[in-house]
Amino acid sequence: MGILGGGAGGVNAAPAVRARALVSCALFPASAERIVRMTVKTRFAPSPTGYLHIGGARTALFSWLYARKHGGSFVLRVEDTDQERSTQESVNAILEGMTWLGLEYDEGPFYQTRRFDRYREVIQRLLDEGKAYKCYCSKERLDALREEQQKRKEKPRYDGKCRDLTEPPSPDAPYVVRFRNPLEGQVVVDDRVHGRVAFSNTELDDLIIARTDGSPTYNLTVVVDDMDMGISHVIRGDDHLNNTPRQVNILHALGVEAPVYAHVPMILGEDGKRLSKRHGAVSVMSYRDEGYLPEAVLNYLVRLGWSHGDQEIFSLDEMIQLFDIDDLNAKASALNVSKLNWLNQQYMKAMDPAHVARHLSWHMGQLGVDPAQGPALEDIVVAQRERSHTLVEMARNSLFFYRMPESYDDKAARKNLKADTRPALEALRAALAAAPEWQRERLHETVTGVAESLDLKLGKVAQPLRVALSGGPVSPPIDETLELLGRDRSLARIDAALQFIDQQGQAAG
């Protein structure tokens, strides 16, 4: 079960959806048809000002899973209205991260900068309908206002000076457009992870929806896009929870229903503090660089804030089938590298070695090794996966299969490559040179044979041999190591070790 299990997959999800829809029908017969037809559409809407953040990747994963589970679609939208900070490199980096994780989108990427005409149209409509107004207040006045309010220990907000203005102060005075937020009542958000959250309209002010240059702001573009794109479920970080009532008000002013919201908690660093660069791996691609399999990262992320009983390992199909927003935790969760390491190893052990080998190949390349010049990587994977947590670790520990170790591990050499062990190495060299068949079981017999003939325990001959072959105290079982390394390389390394022992002897004498 688990990792490799294709199994039942998403097919089983369909009846569940239907069952839920039927319940809704019973409660709201009038809207039954609409509910049944409503297709799930989720979105991931990063702003391209950096890399794909691990927290962003998790909300993207949740959105993606939810869409997949319900046979809906997943939209990628690039929120690049801040033209100062948005870059194409960043867009590429985000796309690269999504691709590496395998979170393919069904629609998009849509760029907000290409939809300015549409936003202008909506802003104009709001203006025409009196649901928005022009504000001529200068930045200076606004700054002063804010400062004063803070001094008075009040929540800084716009005072509505231009709200009821009928004439502009001067014919071509510059202005921003503000949304006319309701003065009374409250906005209730039925959040799928936080439950019912009520905000009083008196806490909200008239936010700017168009800047002096006419460009739209975030709260406006989000609302227009979610509306136009038919987003049914907005799954995003809970740092947006406070923006939600404003967005709901704009949506209502536009005459549409708000989508379902699910504000997922943010991810914390290992120290429980807000994730930042100093925590190391914050970008998704750094997880590739550090040797994690995308499947393991996905599994790790899905378990952060979500669970299904005691199950720890989920195949993609299982995730799709079992994931539900209602099972999301409301508490922020801290990253835990040791658990990721464990999971990654579980995946390396359970997945098809050929698949793991493809990833390992990239890491070998990073270390300057051409895997074609040595044992098949698939075999290396099988030999090393039990003693590696990451692909980087696996690659480093496997370097000796592809090139002569530059030096011996100090401690290991002192203990195992010395005059005392020379006879064992010599005997091994002779026996291995004469071995009729270079094959694991035979090699095992050869090594144990040498040990017996010298009346030594296996460890007494295996360990010096290990150091001779690998340069250090750790390697796969000695027979396996020999088999993978091959006869020529093995003999050459024993010779080198014998020579090393002699040199040490001379130096000492």
185: left (phi over 0), alpha (psi -120 to 50) or beta: left
When binding is defined by CB under 7 A, the residue of 53, 444, 489, 493 that contacts RNA is 444
When binding is defined by CB under 7 A, the residue of 42, 47, 181, 232 that contacts RNA is 47
Smallest distance, RNA to C-beta of residue 378, A: 18
Smallest distance, RNA to C-beta of residue 30, A: 28
Which residues are 110's β-sheet partners?
77
Q: Is 240 in the site for RNA (CB under 7 A)?
A: yes
Residue closer to RNA by CB (options 173, 372) is 173
Smallest distance, RNA to C-beta of residue 51, A: 14
Peptide bond connecting 109 to the previous residue in cis, omega within 30 degrees of 0: yes
Q: Is 144 in the site for RNA (CB under 7 A)?
A: no
Binding footprint of RNA, residue count (CB under 7 A): 88
C-alpha 504/C-alpha 508 separation (Å) is 6
Among residues 134, 150, 141, the alpha carbon closest in space to that of 208 is found at 134
Smallest distance, RNA to C-beta of residue 259, A: 17
Residue closer to RNA by CB (options 364, 467) is 467
How many CA atoms within 13 Å lie on the side-chain side of 409?
18
Q: Is 254 in the site for RNA (CB under 7 A)?
A: no
Write out the binding residues for RNA, residues 145-204 only, by CB under 7 A.
Answer: 146, 150, 153-157, 174, 176, 194-195, 197-200, 203
Residue 308: phi, psi to the nearest 5? -135, 90
Q: Is 53 in the site for RNA (CB under 7 A)?
A: no
Residue closer to RNA by CB (options 37, 196) is 196
Smallest distance, RNA to C-beta of residue 367, A: 19
C-alpha 236/C-alpha 408 separation (Å) is 52
Write out the binding residues for RNA, residues 97-126 only, by CB under 7 A.
Answer: 112
Determine whether 277 is an active site residue: yes
How far does CA 404 lie from the centroid of its chain?
Answer: 36
Residue closer to RNA by CB (options 24, 38) is 24
When binding is defined by CB under 7 A, the residue of 23, 256, 334, 372 that contacts RNA is 334
Write down the residue that tokens 């000695």 correspond to: 478
Residue 270: phi, psi to the nearest 5? -60, -25
| Cβ pair 51, 84 in contact under 8 A | no
Write out the binding residues for RNA, residues 395-434 only, by CB under 7 A.
Answer: none
Q: Token pair for residue 24?
A: 């809704």
Q: Is 241 in the site for RNA (CB under 7 A)?
A: yes
Write out the binding residues for RNA, residues 464-493 only, by CB under 7 A.
Answer: 466, 473-480
Binding segment (CB under 7 A) for RNA, from list 224-232, 300-308, 359-367, 495-503: 300-308
C-alpha 371/C-alpha 382 separation (Å) is 15
Alpha carbon separation from 135 to 114, 204, 261 (Å, rounded): 26, 17, 31
Smallest distance, RNA to C-beta of residue 23, A: 14
Q: Report angle CA 334, 338, 341 to the nearest 5 degrees.
A: 120
| Cβ pair 94, 51 in contact under 8 A | yes
Which residues are 189's β-sheet partners?
197
When binding is defined by CB under 7 A, the residue of 338, 373, 488, 507 that contacts RNA is 338
Write out the binding residues for RNA, residues 1-40 only, by CB under 7 A.
Answer: none
Q: Alpha-carbon dihedral of residues 193, 198, 201, 206, nearest 10 degrees? A: -10
Residue closer to RNA by CB (options 102, 174) is 174
Convert residues 368-397 into a mask of x (bound to RNA by CB under 7 A) and - (unbound).
Answer: ------------------xx----------
Helix, strand, coil tally for the chain in percent (to 5): 55, 10, 35
Write out the binding residues for RNA, residues 262-291 only, by CB under 7 A.
Answer: 265-266, 268, 272-274
Convert residues 69-98 into a mask of x (bound to RNA by CB under 7 A) and - (unbound).
Answer: ----------xxxx--x-------------
Which residues are 210's β-sheet partners?
177, 216
Q: Is 138 in the site for RNA (CB under 7 A)?
A: yes
Spot the catalytic one: 139, 153, 277, 331. 277
Smallest distance, RNA to C-beta of residue 265, A: 7
Evaluated on CA atoms 202, 205, 209, 214, the torsion sign reads positive
C-alpha 288/C-alpha 346 separation (Å) is 16
Smallest distance, RNA to C-beta of residue 85, A: 6
Which residues are known to be catalytic? 277
